Amino acid sequence: MAGPSFKFGQHVLQASCVFFKSRLSIGFVNRKPVVPGHVLVSPLRVVERFGELSSEEVADLFMATQTISGVVEKHFQGTSLTMAIQDGPEAGQTVKHVHVHILPRRSGDFPQNDEVYEALAKHDKEMGEDARWRTEEEMAEEASVLAKYFNCQVDSS
């Protein structure tokens, strides 16, 4: 994987965290996964709201989501998937860049199935003692393992 970085809203995303790239979208690991294999998919273009995406971007984003979700479900031995978009601040969006959350699910991963959402809503807030964010090395390692499933070269061009 080459190339320095991608834009993810107001953040800079190291290319080492990106494991998938299509013409208009990227898939990347995240700093504070709610479950093992919780990854994100975004359009390459920095667009805040879902409604601002072009039809081409929408199609590419969700074909990427389909491809990636199949891989993370398999790799992390899930049996189901939770997929969610927080589109706008009142939906809990914190990064101003459209992104799809993909979470491999399995029986018993949360005491109550729907607690995943509570965890999801809290996952990118920096607070409390459980706010351990992963290092870039940890993230790069996971991205590198996932990248092997895809026949694509990730760079930031």
The pair of three-digit structure tokens given for residue 85, joined into one six-digit string: 């978009």
Distance of alpha carbon 130 from the chain centroid: 20
| CA distances to 4, 113, 141 from 63, in Å | 25, 26, 25
Q: How far is the CB of 147 from its own copies (least distance, A)?
A: 20
| Residue count, binding to its own copies (CB under 8 A) | 43
Told to check if 87 binds its own copies by CB under 8 A, we report yes
Q: Which one, of 30, 94, 31, 97, lies nearest residue 68 by Cα?
A: 30
Told to check if 149 binds its own copies by CB under 8 A, we report no
Q: How far is the CB of 73 from its own copies (least distance, A)?
A: 8
Indicate the SS3 state at residue 42. strand
> Where in the sequence numbering do the catalytic residues fall?
99
Binding-site ranges for its own copies (CB under 8 A): 50-51, 53, 55, 58-59, 61-63, 66, 69-70, 73, 78-93, 103, 105-107, 109, 112-114, 116-118, 120-122
